[in-house]
Amino acid sequence: MTKRTGCLKYDNKIILAPMVRVGTLPMRLLALHYGADIVYTEELIDWKLIKSTRRTNEALGTIDYIDQSDGTVVFRTCSLEKDRVVVQLGTCDSQRALKVAKIIENDVAGIDINMGCPKEFSLKGGMGAALLTQRENAKAILSTLVKNLTIPVTCKIRVFENLEDTIQLVKDLASTGIAAIAVHGRTKAERPQHLNRNSTIAAIAKHLDIPVIANGGSREIDKYKDILKFREDCGASSVMVARAAEGNCSIFCRTGMKDLECVITEYLKLAIDYDNSPSNTKYCVQNMLKELQETPRGKKFLECQTLEQICSIWNLGEYCRMKQLEFQANGMLGRREVCP
């Protein structure tokens, strides 16, 4: 199918990696604000999106996919990210993947298939890293999407121990017509403490003529220049950053990182503006605070149950209250749920 005009290109890009619970709308917008070129959503499981209902949220200026059983937001997006947001799908079935991709196709810039998640939940369901060894199914999912969508399709993989097996894998996947491939340089069994196999990514980049997006370098990424160094070490066209961005999203700033207080404040402002759930907001701030959760202020933060309470700690309590009243006046129900 002819791709949409002006469609997303993946070469020479710095990208926010997919991260469950972290890659929700406020974090994606913050990453774009700081200079990321492309932002991936957290992994969204195909059937969850299929079951959801698409709604235009006039009060927030967003498109929401709502889980009808409990009213929670499965996916929220807005025009600010429309041409730069890639939805990552968790799937094991080409027809289900196509069905969901068709539903969201006009709201997003690209679709990615998760072929790297090593978690039990994914593997049992034939998703994530299970697809690395189910080659025909992996290819069927990608080629079905490539043939039938107007937006580009990518996948994110892990590597095998053996270089030749890895090269064969990426050649097979690339033959489906995908626009780029993201490579986390660890095997399914390896964990973040293991060295990232940068030289394997470099070998992959040499063998493919589509952009290779290097991933797995956060341990060595403390500032923007380290992202470029990682890209160079991997001989890759683009880089995808997860943990370094989770800890301080201003890693994407070309002019230098912002201090954490500033980043948290900017993040919370977006969480308020887009009515992010208190539990998701709290989770993301916790991942930024890390050991600072042990300080008296951190402990006070951990006791917070509502978005307003969280925001008060960063002097945004009044702004939060005002916005929530505004949303209610515009017909949106204010969030009442408490954090777990």
Give CA–CA dist 322/301, Å, rounded. Answer: 21
In the complex with ligand FNR, the residue whose CB is nearer, 122 or 309, is 122
Is residue 118 a contact residue for ligand FNR (CB under 6 A)? no
- H or E, element range at 98: helix 94-104
Q: Could you give the dihedral angle defined by the CA atoms of residues 197, 35, 111 and 9, in that order, rounded to the nearest 10 degrees?
A: -90
- Taking the complex as a whole, the smallest distance from the CB of residue 85 to ligand FNR amounts, in Å, to 14
Give CA–CA dist 71/94, Å, rounded. Answer: 27
> What would the two tokens of residue 279 be?
């539990």
Binding track, positions 56-95, relative to ligand FNR; x by CB under 6 A: --------------------------------x-------
- The DSSP output letter for 52 is S
Question: Looking at 217, 231, 273, 314, which residue binds ligand FNR (CB under 6 A)?
Answer: 217
Exposed, middle or buried, 220 (CB in 10 Å: 0-12/13-18/19+)? Answer: middle
Give CA–CA dist 181/212, Å, rounded. Answer: 5
Is residue 226 a contact residue for ligand FNR (CB under 6 A)? no
Strand-pairing partners, residue 113, are 89, 155
Stretch that binds ligand FNR, among 51-59, 77-85, 145-153, 238-246 (CB under 6 A): 238-246
- H or E, element range at 317: helix 317-329
Question: Which residue among the candidates 78, 92, 117, 311 is catalytic per the annotation?
Answer: 117
- Taking the complex as a whole, the smallest distance from the CB of residue 56 to ligand FNR amounts, in Å, to 26
Q: How many residues bind ligand FNR (CB under 6 A)?
A: 22
Nearest to 103, CA basis, from 59, 51, 57, 143 = 51
- Taking the complex as a whole, the smallest distance from the CB of residue 192 to ligand FNR amounts, in Å, to 7
Stretch that binds ligand FNR, among 70-78, 91-99, 164-172, 214-222 (CB under 6 A): 214-222
- Taking the complex as a whole, the smallest distance from the CB of residue 23 to ligand FNR amounts, in Å, to 7
Q: Is 78 a catalytic residue?
A: no
Q: Which residues of 166-181 are buried (b: 16+ CB within 10 A; e: fewer)?
A: bbebbeebbebebbbb
Question: Looking at 28, 184, 282, 323, which residue binds ligand FNR (CB under 6 A)?
Answer: 184
Is residue 234 a contact residue for ligand FNR (CB under 6 A)? no
SS3 40: strand
Strand bridging mode 62-66 / 53-57:
antiparallel
Is residue 17 a contact residue for ligand FNR (CB under 6 A)? yes
Strand bridging mode 212-215 / 73-78:
unpaired
Question: Looking at 10, 13, 15, 18, which residue binds ligand FNR (CB under 6 A)?
Answer: 18
Give CA–CA dist 4/308, Å, rounded. Answer: 41
In the complex with ligand FNR, the residue whose CB is nearer, 290 or 300, is 290
Are 71 and 53 contacting, i.e. CB atoms less than 8 angstroms apart? no
In the complex with ligand FNR, the residue whose CB is nearer, 142 or 241, is 241
Question: Looking at 187, 218, 248, 324, which residue binds ligand FNR (CB under 6 A)?
Answer: 218
Is residue 200 a contact residue for ligand FNR (CB under 6 A)? no
Give CA–CA dist 266/272, Å, rounded. Answer: 10
Is residue 216 a contact residue for ligand FNR (CB under 6 A)? yes
Q: Which residue has the tokens 């009060």?
A: 59
- Taking the complex as a whole, the smallest distance from the CB of residue 287 to ligand FNR amounts, in Å, to 7
First-residue to last-residue Cα distance in the chain: 45
Is residue 46 a contact residue for ligand FNR (CB under 6 A)? no
* Residues of span 125-144 touching ligand FNR by CB under 6 A: none
Indicate which residues carry an active-site annotation.
Answer: 117
Contacts to ligand FNR by CB under 6 A: 17-20, 22, 42-43, 88, 114, 116-117, 156, 184, 215-218, 241-244, 246
